[in-house]
Every structure is written in structure tokens, then in C-alpha cells.
Amino acid sequence: MRFIYIKGKNLTHDALAEAFAFPPHYGRNLDALFDCLTEIAAHTMIVLTDSDQADGRFLNVIRAAVAENPRLCLMMM
């Protein structure tokens, strides 16, 4: 199990790209994040702790990707 503590938009993109092994051409924006999350082929659980502190735009993208990709699950704590 891996825990990532991040703050700020750039660090969030960096951490997500590393955690999910996004391709080198990952655009580090919300559209690219959605695209990469919906392309994940392995069953993956995304666990967000302190989700009340998370940026709403990132949460919306993650929720939309979970709705689109049946292999993704989201748990918010």
C-alpha cells in the first residue's frame, strides 16, 4: 500500500503521474488526468484521505473517471 501526501496543483499532478505510471506525454492538466484515469486497465482503488481538504476540481475529475472506467473505485475518508 502506498500513501501520497500532496499539496498544490503541480505536486498533485506529479504524484498522480508517478503513482499511476502515466505516460511521459501526460499533459499535467485536468483533461489529461481524466484521459489517463479512464485508460487504466487494472482494477484500481483510489483512496482519498482528508478528502474534505482536496481540491474540488480534482475530485470532480476523479469521480467522472470512476464513473467512466468500471475498473476504478474511489473511497473517500
Q: Please write the tens of the pLDDT for every residue from 31-50.
A: 999 999 999 999 999 887 76
Q: Which of 36, 47, 48, 38 is nearest to 71 (CA)?
A: 38
What is the chain's mean pLDDT, rounded? 85
Sign of the torsion angle spanned by Cα atoms 73, 12, 2, 25: positive
Residues 12 and 6: beta-carbon distance below 8 Å: yes
Range of the domain at 69: 9-76
Does the residue 34 lie in any domain? yes
Does the residue 69 lie in any domain? yes
pLDDT above 80 (res 26): yes
- The count of domains in the chain is 1
Does the residue 14 lie in any domain? yes
pTM of the model: 0.83
Does the residue 3 lie in any domain? no
By percentage, how much of the chain surpasses pLDDT 90?
55
Does the residue 38 lie in any domain? yes
Does the residue 62 lie in any domain? yes
Supply 36's cell numbers: 489517463
Taking residues 5-19, report their average pLDDT. 78
Does the residue 17 lie in any domain? yes
Beta strands in 16-77 (DSSP E): 44-48, 72-76
CATH of the domain at 35: 3.30.370.10
Does the residue 25 lie in any domain? yes
